């Protein structure tokens, strides 16, 4: 828990930087210098609309502005970073990357990195971060066709690839022999990467699962967590405090979650130009706990199971993480997207190994190995699942390359 004196100092600073947050505390009868942590309001998307997204454009010296869109509104929003925020963001990433690289030393040192992560904060800072780690670094725009990505990788032959799972799937599909590209380490960002998916992808690139580092972050918070193979859990970045709350605490419209699940709520003592104070991520995590790492307590969680939101009815119970694990038990090169529309769930799979006889078995496994989905079908909240096989040339139903998530 955050010490009261530290909390009060942080609240005072946040009140100066975010006057509307100070107004919210006043409206709720909360005094900054005596507030307890649990009485602070949860910063839901609705509250952030008024205290952050509705503010006038900032003009602080040296700030950086990143643009993002709301999950359901699609409205472009400005997310601000101060120079201090940028330093903390890049430092957190460098720490997790360095720890991972040192934990899995190689006979020939890593010297070249390739950033292939689309747009946004991760893309704009990748070259600087890897350069500061002593790596020669090149990058590519996600807008380039996948064959161009493969050509660049084959020519540059990086030791380390920094990319998104859906882009990595495209590279693995396009390359005749992914292992021949010479990539020895992969860092993932931005999308779900289940253990089975990671294991199968590692095998296709001729590496061990320990050679893949899965990371988790958001434009609002920055770097949040990185997976530790040693502890079999995602370790939170320093300076963050996590809560795992029942979904009903956010509103009566949300369905209850499983006993070991909760909605991730974060507080940052380092982020300044976004009020990460009991900030609701809407991501559902499993098994939040505290462990000892190098003699210090660190919060950790097992996985990100799903995401709650009003845009998908019962979406909080549909875990892409679990579905991906099931599918990859049948076909090791599977790429999949999951759609929920009119209470129908469809799983689209593209795979050279998939056969028609696999489809009923995959459908049966999803319905019976994932209790929440089976219960929804039995209770007629969800119709029987469709498992649809796509040919290599067919595009995903939503027409997006970067979309490893539930869509409607």
Q: Considering only CA atoms, which of 366, 245, 241, 369 is closest in space to residue 308?
A: 245
CB 146 within 8 A of CB 172: no
In this prediction, residue 349 carries a pLDDT of 92
- Alpha-carbon 140 to chain mean position: 21
Residue 73 DSSP SS3: coil
pTM for this prediction: 0.86
Residue extents of the structural domains in the chain: 1-41, 54-310, 315-407
CB 138 within 8 A of CB 158: yes
How far is it, in rounded angstroms, from Cα 351 to Cα 117?
A: 23
Structure confidence by residue, pLDDT tens digits, 199-237: 999 999 999 999 999 999 999 999 999 999 999 999 999
Quickly state the pLDDT bin for 69 (edges 50, 70, 90): low
Query: Would the pLDDT of 19 be above 90?
Result: yes
Residue 114 forms beta bridges with which residues?
A: 138, 161
In this prediction, residue 405 carries a pLDDT of 57
List C-alpha distances in Å: 150 to 80, 118, 172, 373: 34, 15, 9, 37
Q: What percent of the chain has pLDDT over 70?
A: 91
Between 77-91, 180-194, 338-352, the lowest mean confidence (pLDDT) is in 338-352
Structure confidence by residue, pLDDT tens digits, 95-136: 999 989 988 778 788 999 999 987 778 888 999 999 999 999
C-alpha count within 13 angstroms, C-beta hemisphere, residue 379: 8
Backbone angles phi, psi at 89, to 5 degrees: -60, -50
Backbone angles phi, psi at 293, to 5 degrees: -125, 120
What fold does the segment set 315-407 form as a domain? Alpha-Beta Plaits (3.30.70)
How far is it, in rounded angstroms, from Cα 333 to Cα 23?
A: 52
List C-alpha distances in Å: 104 to 155, 160, 186, 203, 259: 26, 13, 12, 17, 35
Between 25-29, 64-68, 296-300, 389-393, the lowest mean confidence (pLDDT) is in 389-393
261 contacts: CB under 8 Å, gap ≥ 6: 244, 284, 285, 286, 305
- Alpha-carbon 225 to chain mean position: 9
Q: Residues 287-316: what's their mean pLDDT?
A: 82
Instruction: Report the DSSP pairing between strands 406-407 and 136-139.
Output: unpaired
Q: Please say whether the structural domain 54-310 has been given the CATH code 3.40.50.12780.
A: yes
Q: What percent of the chain has pLDDT over 90?
A: 63
In this prediction, residue 369 carries a pLDDT of 80
Residue 301 DSSP SS3: strand
Which helix H or strand E contains 188, and what residues bound it?
strand 185-188
List C-alpha distances in Å: 80 to 55, 73, 88: 12, 20, 14
Query: Would the pLDDT of 294 be above 60?
Result: yes
- Alpha-carbon 171 to chain mean position: 20
- Average confidence score pLDDT of the chain: 88
In this prediction, residue 192 carries a pLDDT of 83
In this prediction, residue 71 carries a pLDDT of 47
Structure confidence by residue, pLDDT tens digits, 249-268: 998 888 889 899 999 999 99
- Alpha-carbon 282 to chain mean position: 11
360 contacts: CB under 8 Å, gap ≥ 6: 387
Q: Considering only CA atoms, which of 3, 73, 77, 61 is closest in space to residue 37?
A: 3
Quickly state the pLDDT bin for 312 (edges 50, 70, 90): very low
Quickly state the pLDDT bin for 320 (edges 50, 70, 90): confident
């Amino acid at each position: 828990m955050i010490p009261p004196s530290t909390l009060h100092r942080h609240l005072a600073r946040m009140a100066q930087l975010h006057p509307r947050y100070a107004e919210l505390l006043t409206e709720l009868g909360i005094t900054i210098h005596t507030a307890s942590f649990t009485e602070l309001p949860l910063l839901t998307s609705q509250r952030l609309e008024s205290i952050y997204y509705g503010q006038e454009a900032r003009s602080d010296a040296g700030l950086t502005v990143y643009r993002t869109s709301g999950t359901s509104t699609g409205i472009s929003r400005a997310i601000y970073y101060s120079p201090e925020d940028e330093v903390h963001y890049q430092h957190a990433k460098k720490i997790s990357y360095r720890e991972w690289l040192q934990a899995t030393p190689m006979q020939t040192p890593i010297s070249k990195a390739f950033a292939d992560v689309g747009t946004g904060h991760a893309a704009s800072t990748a070259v600087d971060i890897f350069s500061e780690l002593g790596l020669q670094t090149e990058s590519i725009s996600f807008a380039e066709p996948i064959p161009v990505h493969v050509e660049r990788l084959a020519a540059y032959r990086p030791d380390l690839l920094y990319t998104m799972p859906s882009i990595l799937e495209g590279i693995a599909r396009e390359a005749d022999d992914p292992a021949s590209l010479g990539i020895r380490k992969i860092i993932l960002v931005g999308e779900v990467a289940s253990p089975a998916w990671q294991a199968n992808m590692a095998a296709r690139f001729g590496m061990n699962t320990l050679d893949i580092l899965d990371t988790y972050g958001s434009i609002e918070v920055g770097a949040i967590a990185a997976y530790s193979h040693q502890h079999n859990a995602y370790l939170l970045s320093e300076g963050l405090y996590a809560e795992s709350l029942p979904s009903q605490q956010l509103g009566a419209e949300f369905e209850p979650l499983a006993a070991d699940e909760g909605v991730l709520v974060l507080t940052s003592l380092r982020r300044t130009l976004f009020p990460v104070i009991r900030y609701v991520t809407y991501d559902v995590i499993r098994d939040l706990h505290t462990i000892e790492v190098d003699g210090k307590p660190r919060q950790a969680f097992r996985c990100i199971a799903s995401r709650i939101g009003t845009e998908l009815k019962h979406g909080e119970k549909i875990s892409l993480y679990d579905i991906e694990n099931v599918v990859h038990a049948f076909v090791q090169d599977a790429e999949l997207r999951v759609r929920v529309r009119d209470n129908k769930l469809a799983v689209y799979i593209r795979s050279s190994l998939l056969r028609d006889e696999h489809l009923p078995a995959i459908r049966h496994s999803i319905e019976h190995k994932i209790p929440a989905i089976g219960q929804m079908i039995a209770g007629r909240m969800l119709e029987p699942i469709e498992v649809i096989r796509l040919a290599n040339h067919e595009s995903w139903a939503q027409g997006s390359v970067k979309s490893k998530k539930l869509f409607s």
